[in-house]
């Protein structure tokens, strides 16, 4: 704080001119002070930063956009982005030696996608590629892939994946998992399995999320043989299933009236020291109720209460 006081005194004495060291101190302090708690503060801070000459570094701009995104004020993120463009800030950044970095663009792309503005997200992404001076990273690609998958545009997501493979920024397991999960949710399990094979052939190791998505997908299309094969393959590779993986199997078996198979999965969970949770027990109770085996459902209900798990009101009614 002493240095900041000294900086303010020198600014008064010199008409706003700081020596390089005190200028660095002031900028560093300002970077650490960027903390957004509401939209009004962000807009005021953004406007104040635009008035500074020279412009602050990219760090505080990124901090404002990122913190607003964390607060889920995506409309404000987009508003600031539009303001940056309308004031030709992004265009003038390069002239002024102030270059927005990949974090700036990635945050904006995410904001556009979350506000259902895919065209603008794609346009900004293409702008990054055209400029070439802002190196795209796997997070940027992954953000756009996730947004496309959430909108059910698996084709565009796969095209983007191919573009990554052709370029310098190679996809990782997170990007592959995003598309595989989206394909499985749409019951496009053959496409998902092909992508899985492509991933492993490139030396990218699947993880618990990969297998859980695939198992869920094959359960949805009632291909129990393939679901079981994937489950066994996962265990053989020392990728041990977690409670989510087991719950997928329990829930699917119960909905298909295969309660004994579901019960076997629960017993396997217990043997592996994986505690069944509320979802597990509710699925099992639902399965027994669908078969009219109310005595068995009651036994599971009592076990559920003894374990301190919450009971789904839909099951009990």
Is 26 inside a domain boundary? no
Please tell me the distance from the alpha carbon of residue 56 to that of residue 270, in angstroms, as a whole number.
57
Same domain, 184 and 137: no
Work out the average pLDDT over 293-307.
85
Please provide the DSSP assignment of 102-149 as one string: HHHHHHHHHHHHHTT-HHHHHHHHHHHHHH-SS---HHHHHHHHHHHH
> Which of these three, 128, 155, 170, is where a domain ends?
170
Share of the chain above pLDDT 70, in %: 74
Is 234 or 120 the better-scoring residue by pLDDT? Answer: 234
Is 37 inside a domain boundary? no
Please provide the DSSP assignment of 213-245 as one string: HHHHHHHHTT-HHHHHHHHHHHHHTT----HHH
pLDDT tens string 165-199: 887 789 999 999 999 999 999 999 999 999 999 99
The range of the structural domain enclosing residue 185 comes to 172-226
Instruction: Tell the residue number behind the tokens 């904001």, with chain if given.
Output: 111
Positive or negative: CA dihedral 306, 307, 313, 316: negative
Same domain, 158 and 196: no
Is 20 inside a domain boundary? no
Is 120 inside a domain boundary? yes
Work out the average pLDDT over 119-137.
76
Same domain, 152 and 181: no
Same domain, 163 and 181: no
Is 193 inside a domain boundary? yes
Please report which confidence band the pLDDT of residue 19 belongs to, taking 50, 70 and 90 as the band edges: very low
* pLDDT given at position 49: 76
Same domain, 186 and 221: yes
Same domain, 303 and 261: yes
Q: Which residues lie closer than 8 Å to 288 by C-beta, 6 or more apart?
A: 259, 294, 296, 297, 300
Same domain, 146 and 206: no
Q: Give the total number of structural domains in the chain.
A: 3
Same domain, 154 and 198: no
pLDDT tens string 269-284: 989 899 999 899 999 9
> Which of these three, 159, 191, 226, is where a domain ends?
226
Same domain, 210 and 271: no
Same domain, 163 and 187: no
* pLDDT given at position 145: 94
> Which of these three, 226, 249, 272, is where a domain ends?
226
Instruction: Compute, in degrees rounded to 10, the torsion defined by CA atoms 299, 300, 302, 306.
Output: 140
Is 40 inside a domain boundary? no
* pLDDT given at position 255: 87
- Count CA atoms closer than 13 A to 228's CA, side-chain side: 9
* Top-ranked range on mean pLDDT: pick from 5-14, 32-41, 54-63, 140-149: 140-149
Token digits of residue 149: 């998958």
Same domain, 248 and 297: yes
Please report which confidence band the pLDDT of residue 88 belongs to, taking 50, 70 and 90 as the band edges: very low
Please tell me the distance from the alpha carbon of residue 149 to that of residue 154, in angstroms, as a whole number.
5
Same domain, 131 and 109: yes
* pLDDT given at position 313: 46
* pLDDT given at position 29: 44
Is 46 inside a domain boundary? no
Is 245 inside a domain boundary? yes
- The yes-or-no verdict on residue 201 having pLDDT over 90 is yes
């Amino acid at each position: 704080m002493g240095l900041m006081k000294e900086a303010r005194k020198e600014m008064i004495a010199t008409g706003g001119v700081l020596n390089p060291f005190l200028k660095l101190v002031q900028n560093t302090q300002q970077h650490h002070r960027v903390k957004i708690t509401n939209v009004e503060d962000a807009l005021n801070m953004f406007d104040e930063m635009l008035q500074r000459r020279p412009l602050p570094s990219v760090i505080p701009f990124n901090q404002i956009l990122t913190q607003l995104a964390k607060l889920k004020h995506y409309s404000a993120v987009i508003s600031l982005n539009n303001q940056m463009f309308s004031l030709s800030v992004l265009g003038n950044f390069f002239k002024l030696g102030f270059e927005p970095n990949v974090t700036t663009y990635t945050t904006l792309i995410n904001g556009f996608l979350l506000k259902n503005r895919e065209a603008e997200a794609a346009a900004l992404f293409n702008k990054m590629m055209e400029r070439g001076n802002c190196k795209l990273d796997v997070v940027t690609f992954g953000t756009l892939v996730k947004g496309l998958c959430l909108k059910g545009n698996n084709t565009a997501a796969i095209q983007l994946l191919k573009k990554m493979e052709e370029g310098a920024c190679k996809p990782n397991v997170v990007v592959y998992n995003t598309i595989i999960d989206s394909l499985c949710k749409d019951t496009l399990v053959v496409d998902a399995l092909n992508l899985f094979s492509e991933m492993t052939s490139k030396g990218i190791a699947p993880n618990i999320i990969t297998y859980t998505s695939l198992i869920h997908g094959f359960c949805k299309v009632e291909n129990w043989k393939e679901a079981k094969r994937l489950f066994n393959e996962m265990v053989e590779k020392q990728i041990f299933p977690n409670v989510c993986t087991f719950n997928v199997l329990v829930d699917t078996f119960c909905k298909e009236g295969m309660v004994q198979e579901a019960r076997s999965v629960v017993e396997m969970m217990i043997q592996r020291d994986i505690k069944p949770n509320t979802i597990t027990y509710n699925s099992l109770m639902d399965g027994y109720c669908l078969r009219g085996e109310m005595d068995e459902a009651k036994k599971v209900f009592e076990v559920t209460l003894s374990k301190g798990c919450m009971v789904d009101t839909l099951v009990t009614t």
